[in-house]
Structure 1
Amino acid sequence: MPRQLPRSRLRSTAAVFTTLSALAATSIITGPSVAGPYATAPCALQRTDAHHSEGLDTWNAAYPRPARALDAVMVFLSFPDWDPLTTPAELAADHFPATSDFFARASYGRFTLRPHQLKRWIRMPKPSTAYAIRRDWSPDHRTAYLRDALAAADGQVDFSRYDIVYLVADPDAPGVDSDATKVVNLDSPLRADGTDIRRVVTVFEQHPPDRLVLAHETGHVFDLPDLYRRPTDGKGDWDTHVGDWDLMGSQFGLAPDLFAWHKWKLGWLDPRQVVCVGGPEPARLTLEPLGAGPGVPVPGVAGAPVFGLGAGTKLAVVRTGADSALAFEARGPVGNDRAACRAGVLVYRVRSETESGHGPVEVIDAHPHTEACWEDSVYPSLADAPVGLGESFTVPGDGVRVDVEGRTASGAWTVRIAVG
């Protein structure tokens, strides 16, 4: 995950760290029943061989499905060349309950992440500098680190009990690089306690850490891709693809809730909450705010909080090709998006054959000539991307038009979508 400097400093520098064939014949087709998170609606893209493919017709069984409670163990690693300045309890509090709370809100209470923290440091056999920890870590050093960590912890951790493993390094040790935090996927699994360990979250975060960084990395454990753009020369904006609009783009985003497409992929949306749009006649529908769920207050038209939303339509999809689709969802200051810069109907393109980190999702800016929330947004040009109340927008290159016609008393958005 890229690091981010304060916006004022970013502005003063040059570098900013910051995927079925035809459309349905009828105007609106609600997705049929699904098995787990599998989706067979006509607008559901097929999963491809791309790393973390955005196809969602099947689930990649190599990854745990967040459709039930999952248990995660946090193992805290110290090194012989440094005495820790923090405690395991302090580092655990950096990430929990914030990470669990994020997923509880994002899943509308359908998924629970249960952390189990070791209460003491486990000493690694080699100095921190011996592992050459860095963002683009060499396979040999990385494998040595993982083998040593699992061997050191094996006497105190029954790895067969856990779905997710977080290896948390002493952040102050001299060889630790906070930019190296990532999920390591192993072609040949390591084995401990009779269990194959195929991926590990290696945490090298500073104390305190980047906001929601562990939620981002945990998203990879659930087969979600990186949505940021990594410049080949290390210079330029990292956030040009999705800006603030999904945690997998930036953990610093003002509206970090997962896209409705991701919630569909993970099995957190019911089939009736996804509408496929196509055919010759325009479709009129009501989109609930993405963050609205049981017990979550939604600003009503008069401004007073309204409760009870959460079971209505969250996502409208227009199929645009064999491996591409347009998605429409309502975003605003609700739930995980409570700091959202602008409210309205967000439009984005999804491609199932595009690899993680190469733009599998791209937000389409309905206001390409303006920007917003300059001081706080990770990418102000996309901060005002949603189509606002009373506005119309035609998606360039596709001819799909969306009109945001009104708001209901409960705060939902009424929209008209015309294809072609």
Structure 2
Amino acid sequence: MRRPGIVVLAVLVALGGVVMLPATAADAAEGDPSDVTVARYGGADRYATSLLIAEAVAVEAGGSLSSVVLVSGERWTDAVVAAPVAGALGAPVLMTPPGGLRADALAFMRRVGVSDAVVIGPDASGGAHGPGRGVSAAVIDALADAGIGAERIAGSDRYSTSVAAANEVTPGVMPGLGRTAIVASGEVFADALVAGPFASRGTHPVLLSSPDELHPDVADYLSAAGVEHVVVMGGTAALSAAVASAITDLGVSVTRLAGATRYDTAVKAAELVNDRYSADAGETCFGTGTIGVARARVPFDSFSAAPLLARLCAPLVLVDPAEVPADTEAFLDTARESNDGVGLRIFGGDAAVSQSALDAYLAAGISVADHDDCRPPSLSNVATTVGFPLPDTVDPSSGEVKITVLFMDFPDAQAGHTTHAEIEIGLPVMEEYLEAQSYGKLDLDVDVVHRWWRAPHPSSNYLDDDAAGATGLWPSAGEESVRLADNEYDFSDTDVVLTVFPSDHFGRGLALGSAFADGTALSGFRINTHPGTSDGVPWNWGLTAAHELAHNFGLVDLYPYDPSVHAAGEPPEGTAWVYLEFGLMGLKARYSDADHSLWFVAPVEMLAWTRWQLGWLDPAQVACGVRLGASVALGPVAEPGTGIAAVIVPLNEHEMIVVESRRRLGYDTAAPDTHQSGAMPRHGLLEEGVLVYTVDSRIDNGQLPVTVAGSAGDSRTDGFPVLTPNESVTVRGYTVTVTADNDDTHTVTITRTG
């Protein structure tokens, strides 16, 4: 069968990825089958992959989870029986190393609000329990130390453990077939694995049995639990005819799913549940619009897949790392012919399901992606993000936004300058900069209350460490200023409060915070917040204030909070480091240069990505995916007009390549007198060209969610990191080349190199 047009988007991948590209006009004219989206979940190891899948479950759950099901990353017999338990709890299945709880897993549990964990399987190793070690007591101790309750569910062997897990749920009804359980071989993982999605969705216990006879514990459970129907997974080599007969002797009906191959068995499982369950809004579940894909011979990539696929109403089919087998290919072809669009969810990195195997199947070109594919989902429960949507708590970033400016000093840090002096340089820069960066979509209405209020407590009462570890005036100081002004000022139409502290004693700034006055919930940000960082005189804090207000809009810091990440070291002999900072939020890079007069360069036109987040770029100005080899003309990000301001290439659901044109226009001509870092830039944009960077919405504030293409982990690049004609950079298998510059637009092409 000829492979028609495809969209490749991907989800939650740390290894590899695919890009969205347009199908040919001929394909469209011939009415070929639906576009395909490819989504991959693959971390640096099995535990990172499991965590990525758990993050996706949390997103599907609305950002919070009360429970998690933990299984050993070494023992499949525990993992396959965990699916219905997780389904009943609305929880992900999260793998853990047997000997201890990983810090990233614990951080995830804390962030999404997990209070209870269910551990499946004993801590005993090997033998009757199956290959590998179980979850040790050290893991449960670590959970207890974190305030997370833990319950272990285990039996004396793999079979009784499956029964113990089954006893934790009430067997659900499989529509048309009655109260249903699943029986699979305790010797072969693949059959039980592909039952996981519908076992989780329908709360059908997964019971393991020996191949030759029905395990007595399983038989007792089926009788006691009132099971009416059993799905027997696999042919008679997996579970003998005697096993099925023993089940029917209990008065229980049997549906055997027996394919000629394990791939065929997976397809038969998908066909059994096709449109059988109900989903939201009257839709049916387990159609073929979304399909999970995992490798057939190693289980670890897909241990955690079942609860996510259950939420997505998606079956799981199997492939080999190097090819899509015929049984699976035929199923996917039918799905594509039956749907307007098909989403493939790939579990594991390239070693599990190779990109070349997908390319061989998805061979005929790719469709332009929908703009939603270029809006990667945010982390849960965060105040700032590089993803979408922006948090509910952010301030409006379009239309008229009223900012009230207050001034407060302290008994031990009194103001030596007038309120007019404190703001006359910085405030106009903040206002003009943000309104220009928004292309006129933001109108700041600033009302300045010219009076110094005196805090009732010394400044030390309001100091704490900020996110980067520096000591500054905390939100309580902003709240105090509102409380002091409340009797004299009407805050009822205020959106944001800017509190200015005396520059005699403090410098820099901080964002976020809240207060309540005149029946209005107010957010806030602050200028002159850090003791010991001021020259003692009013300064141009305009970009600093714009940076802090952008946090209130929902944007993250792009610079690393850990300075060792960008530790410079010594430059090559005869050169000096030139430090770069693109945009408002601090996208850093550096390179060595023989020109010792250069040291800090700040082209501060905001990145196209942050403007896209804030809604300042319209969808018509963003090319979400391009056909491989096609040319795109990019207008300058400072003044894009009605042209394309950015090309975004989705690598997966969370990672994007962004391509934008930078010219000596607007704030790339030269930076204002003082940059938000406090340094004094010598230049704006050193050279006009195309800036390429990557975005990962899974990475939090101050942890490098955006990186310049071609930079090492310590931010070093080979030179000033913009591309001029005939220059290119390769990112994750895609090469971006500048092919032309007509002084108005840069023309780029994107090709696949791997």
TM-score of the two chains, using structure 1 as the length reference? 0.75
Secondary structure of 1:121's match?
strand
After superposition, give the CA deviation of every residue in 1:188-221 in whole Å (9 maximum; x if it has no partner): x532111123x32122164214561111111101
Whether 2:704 is the aligned partner of 1:359: answer: yes
Larger Rg belongs to: 2
Instruction: Report the Cα distance in structure 2 between the residues aligned to 1:29 and 1:234, rounded to whole angstroms.
Output: 38
Q: What SS does the corresponding residue of 1:96 show, helix, strand or coil? A: helix
Secondary structure at 1:159's aligned position in 2?
coil
Question: For residue 386 of structure 1, what is the amino acid of its counterpart?
Answer: V
- Counterpart Cα distance in 1 of 2:377 and 2:458: 46
Matches within 5 A, 1:365-404: 365=710, 381=717, 384-395=720-731, 398-404=732-738
2-side partners of 1:25 and 1:365: how far apart?
23
Residue 384 (structure 1) shift: 0.6
Question: Which whole-Å CA distance do the structure 2 matches of 1:24 and 1:340 have between them?
Answer: 31
**Is 1:257 aligned with 2:605?**
yes
Match of 1:119, SS state, is strand
Note the C-alpha offset of 1:418: 1.5
Q: Is the counterpart of residue 231 in structure 1 residue 562 in structure 2?
A: yes
Aligned match of 1:319 in 634, 650, 672?
650
The 8 Å contact of residues 69 and 112 in structure 1, kept in 2 or not, is answered as yes
Q: Is the aligned partner of 1:24 residue 2:371? A: no
Give the superposition deviation at 1:380. 8.2
Could you tell me how far apart the structure 2 residues matched to 1:46 and 1:98 are?
Answer: 32
* Residue 91 (str. 1) matches residue 439 (str. 2): no
My pick for the range that moved more, 126-135 or 205-214, is: 126-135
| 1:321 alignment partner, SS class | coil
* Contact 2:437/2:606 (8 A) holds in 1: yes
Return the offset for 1:130: 4.2
Q: CA RMSD in A?
A: 3.2
1:165 to 497, 519, 534: 497
Q: Deviations over 1:145-187 (max 9, x none)?
A: 34432221112222221111111111224xxx425x21134xx
Question: Following TM superposition, by how much is the alpha carbon of 1:383 offset from its aligned partner in structure 2, in angstroms?
Answer: 6.5
Contact conserved, 2:637 with 2:661, CA < 8 A, in 1? yes
**Structure 2 CA distance for aligned equivalents of residues 119 and 324 of structure 1:** 46
Report % sequence identity: 26
Give the corresponding residue for 1:191.
516
2:549 is aligned, of 211, 218, 224, to 218
> What amino acid sits opposite 1:203 in the alignment?
I
**2:630 counterpart residue number:** 283
Measured in 2, the distance between the counterparts of 1:288 and 1:337 equals: 14
Q: What residue is the counterpart of 2:524 in the other structure?
A: 200
How far has the Cα of 1:142 moved from its partner?
3.6
1:47 and 1:20, CA in 2 relative to 1: closer, same or farther beyond 3 A? farther
Give the aligned partner of residue 312 of structure 2.
none
Q: Which residue, 484, 492, 496 being the options, matches 1:152?
A: 484
145-154 or 229-238: bigger deviation: 229-238
Give yes or no for the alignment of 1:247 onto 2:563: no
Supply the distance in 2 between the matched residues of 1:404 and 1:233 (Cα, whole angstroms).
33
Residue 126 of structure 1 and its aligned partner are, at CA, apart by 2.4
Closer, same or farther: CA 20–113 of 1 in aligned 2, 3 Å? farther
- Extract unaligned runs of 5+ from structure 1: 1-18, 33-39, 294-309, 369-378
Cα distance in 2 for residues equivalent to 1:112 and 1:161: 15
What is aligned with 1:303?
A: none
Q: Distance in 2 between matches of 1:400 and 1:49?
A: 30
Aligned to 2:376: 45
CA separation of 1:114 and 1:381: change in aligned 2, threshold 3 A? farther
In the alignment, the residues of structure 2 paired with residue 231 and residue 88 of structure 1 have an alpha-carbon distance, to the nearest angstrom, of 35
Q: Which residue of 2 aligns with 1:300?
A: none
Evaluate the alpha carbon distance shift between residue 29 and residue 66 of structure 1 in structure 2; reply closer, same or farther with a 3 A threshold: farther
The 10-residue stretch of structure 1 (357-366 or 261-270) with the greater mean CA deviation from structure 2: 357-366
- Check whether the contact 2:660–2:692 (CA below 8 A) recurs between aligned residues: yes
Q: Distance in 1 between matches of 2:504 and 2:707?
A: 37
For the Cα contact (< 8 Å) 1:79–1:125, is it kept in 2? yes
CA contact (8 A) 2:560 2:566 kept: no
User: How many angstroms does 1:100 deviate by?
Assistant: 1.3
Contact kept? 1:342, 1:383, Cα under 8 Å: no
1:267 to 605, 615, 618: 615
Quick one: distance in 2 between partners of 1:234 and 1:392?
A: 26
Report the equivalent of 1:110: 441
**Counterpart position of 2:135:** none
Cα pair 2:435 2:441 within 8 Å, conserved: yes
- Alpha-carbon displacement from aligned partner over 1:351-372 (angstroms, at most 9, x marks no partner): 0110010011111138x8xxxx
Instruction: Give the gaps of 5 or more residues in structure 2.
Output: 1-8, 12-17, 24-365, 570-576, 589-599, 670-683
What displacement does 1:386 show?
0.9
- Residue matched to 2:667: 336
Distance 1:184 1:116, change over 3 A: same
1:406 maps onto 2:740 in alignment: yes
Counterpart code for 1:218: L
SS in 1 for 2:701: coil
Counterpart amino acid of residue 341 in structure 1: L
**1:292 aligns with one of 636, 639, 651:** 639
How many residue pairs align between the two structures? Answer: 352
